[in-house]
């Protein structure tokens, strides 16, 4: 049997929507993008949504729109995809890592205040695997120290915490529509915010800082435009939006199926002495399912699962130990032991709506066999 690590969920209806747009004259940022932004902001109950070309672009523009730049410090987590901290470096600021909670792998709010300096301008939490960070606590710390909060919400579109959703307790929340995320257009991203001024800045900044978009110029008679600030070329196209619109309608169903699969995995692994699991609350968006195995056996287990035809991944090896970060910032092993432990022990298993029950059972059987076999083979 072969079980893919990931299968996207693009349907025939989604494809039909894209073909319809391709038959129309206007392919860049226009009506479909506006419609997707409207529905996305309604889904999260936020005032504004701004479609861009990637999650990385969403993070980059958020930092710029909130005036974070050279010499500033941004507090974030080393347990994430490096897009999070790379975006901080793009604007000339310094990523300040701190350790994560052992239970969830999310940034540990208890450690934030000790890292705040006069240079600190922002906190950038990541809702790892779909589990929301404690946003109430993070907002409280941010308000006390006059900091902004930018959420890396790439894993967590559907997440809930008490009555709050993404974008409610932050200045901006950033999303990605990369293929392994819960809805996809190949490459794409989006920012939500409740701040009118920030939204207007983001809309200009995604298109070179122009005062009028091509759509605004196309819809009516030609009008001169101005360039008010230095922006980038990060605007979402109508083709991308057309692919996403119908997926958004089904987002809760897709999450429900992932949740079911996670519950089956948890039931199967919870009593295995060689497997540790992170916690997920009922509000988790359940984007990824990971297990933690003894770190000296992680790589042999990864190889065995792949030999059995199972697609696996590592999300993530702690960022501060990647060569570029170690070299540039003098980070070293031992600084963030919880993140390092997760990074050394974690394996991500297949999780997506198209995964069948039969495939899930096959993965469970092979994971148990690999974990048990490797523990027997190695001394101690």
Ligand X SMILES: *Cc1c(COP(=O)(O)O)cnc(C)c1O
For the annotated catalytic residues, the residue numbers are: 181
Residue placing its CB nearer to ligand X in the complex, 65 or 83 = 83
Residue 235 engages ligand X in binding (rule: CB under 6 A): no
- Find tokens 């929301």 and name the residue: 132
Residue 292 engages ligand X in binding (rule: CB under 6 A): no
- Residue of 55, 95, 105, 125 interacting with ligand X (CB under 6 A): 55
Residue placing its CB nearer to ligand X in the complex, 176 or 274 = 176
Residue 151 engages ligand X in binding (rule: CB under 6 A): no
- Residue of 3, 49, 126, 166 interacting with ligand X (CB under 6 A): 126
Residue placing its CB nearer to ligand X in the complex, 155 or 165 = 155
Residue 85 engages ligand X in binding (rule: CB under 6 A): no
- Please state the closest distance from residue 162 (CB atom) to ligand X, in A: 23
C-alpha separations of 162 from 102, 282, 286 in Å: 22, 10, 16
- Please state the closest distance from residue 310 (CB atom) to ligand X, in A: 21
- Please state the closest distance from residue 72 (CB atom) to ligand X, in A: 20
| Cβ density class 337-365: b for 16+ within 10 Å, e for less | ebbbbbbbbbbbbbbbbebeeebbebbbe
Pairing between strand 48-52 and 189-193? antiparallel
Radius of gyration over alpha carbons of the chain, in Å? 21
Please list the residues that pair with 151 across neighbouring strands.
173
Select from 149-157, 196-204, 330-338, 339-347 the region that touches ligand X (CB under 6 A). Answer: 149-157
Residue 83 engages ligand X in binding (rule: CB under 6 A): yes
Which helix (H) or strand (E) segment holds residue 26: the answer is: none
| Two structure tokens written together for 287 | 């984007």
Residue 63 engages ligand X in binding (rule: CB under 6 A): no
- Please state the closest distance from residue 6 (CB atom) to ligand X, in A: 12
- Please state the closest distance from residue 16 (CB atom) to ligand X, in A: 25
- Residue of 9, 17, 41, 54 interacting with ligand X (CB under 6 A): 54
Across the beta sheet with 148-152, the strand order is 48-52, 189-193, 172-176, 148-152, 120-124, 73-76, 94-97
Which helix (H) or strand (E) segment holds residue 216: the answer is: helix 214-219
Residue placing its CB nearer to ligand X in the complex, 173 or 370 = 173
Residue 80 engages ligand X in binding (rule: CB under 6 A): yes
Residue placing its CB nearer to ligand X in the complex, 21 or 174 = 174
With CB atoms as reference, the residue minimizing the distance to ligand X is: 55
What is the SS3 assignment for 58?
helix
Residue 81 engages ligand X in binding (rule: CB under 6 A): yes
- Please state the closest distance from residue 218 (CB atom) to ligand X, in A: 27
Residue placing its CB nearer to ligand X in the complex, 62 or 80 = 80
Instruction: Please report the sign of the dihedral spanned by the C-alpha atoms of residue 321, residue 327, residue 329, residue 332.
Output: positive
Q: Are the C-beta atoms of residues 114 and 143 closer than 8 Å to each other?
A: no
DSSP secondary structure string, 278-342?
Answer: ----TT-----EEEE--GGGHHHHHHHHHHTTB--B-S---GGGSHHHHHHH---TTSSHHHHHH
Residue 17 engages ligand X in binding (rule: CB under 6 A): no
Residue placing its CB nearer to ligand X in the complex, 7 or 368 = 7
Residue 178 engages ligand X in binding (rule: CB under 6 A): yes
- For residue 103, the tally of other CB atoms under 10 A from its CB is 12
Which residues are at the interface with ligand X (CB under 6 A)? Answer: 54-56, 80-81, 83-84, 126, 152, 154-155, 176, 178, 189
């Amino acid at each position: 049997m072969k079980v893919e690590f990931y299968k996207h969920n693009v349907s025939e209806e989604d494809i039909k929507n894209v073909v319809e747009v391709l038959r129309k004259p206007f392919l860049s940022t226009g009506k479909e993008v506006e419609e997707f932004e409207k529905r996305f902001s309604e889904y999260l109950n936020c005032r504004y949504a701004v479609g861009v070309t990637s999650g990385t672009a969403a993070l980059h523009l958020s930092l710029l729109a909130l005036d974070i730049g050279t010499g500033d410090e941004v507090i974030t987590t080393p347990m994430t995809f490096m897009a999070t901290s790379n975006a901080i470096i793009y604007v000339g600021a310094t990523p300040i890592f701190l350790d994560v909670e052992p239970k969830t792998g999310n940034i540990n709010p208890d450690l934030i205040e000790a890292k705040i300096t006069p240079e600190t301008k922002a906190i950038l939490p990541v809702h790892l695997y779909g589990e929301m960070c404690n946003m109430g606590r993070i907002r409280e710390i941010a308000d006390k120290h006059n900091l902004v909060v930018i959420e890396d919400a790439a894993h967590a579109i559907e997440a809930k915490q008490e009555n709050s959703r993404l974008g409610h307790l932050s200045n901006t929340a950033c999303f990605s529509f990369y293929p392994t995320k819960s809805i996809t257009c190949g490459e794409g991203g989006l920012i939500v915010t409740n701040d009118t001024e920030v939204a207007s800045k983001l809309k200009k900044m995604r298109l070179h800082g122009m005062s009028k978009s091509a759509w605004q110029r196309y819809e009516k008679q030609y009008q001169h435009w101005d360039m008010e600030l230095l922006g980038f070329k990060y605007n979402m196209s109508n083709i991308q939006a057309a692919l996403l619109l119908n997926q958004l309608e089904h987002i809760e169903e897709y999450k429900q199926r992932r949740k079911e699969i996670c519950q089956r995995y948890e039931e199967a692994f919870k009593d295995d002495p060689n497997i540790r699991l992170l916690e997920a609350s009922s509000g988790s968006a359940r984007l990824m399912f990971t297990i933690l195995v003894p770190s000296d056996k992680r790589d042999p287990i990864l190889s065995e699962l792949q030999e059995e035809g199972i697609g696996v991944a590592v999300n993530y090896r702690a960022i501060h130990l990647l060569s570029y970060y170690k070299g540039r910032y003098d980070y070293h092993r031992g600084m963030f032991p919880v993140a390092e432990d997760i990074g050394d022990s974690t394996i991500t298993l297949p999780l997506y709506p198209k995964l069948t029950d039969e495939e899930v059972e096959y993965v469970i059987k092979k994971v148990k066999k690999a974990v048990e076999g490797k523990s027997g083979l190695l001394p101690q």
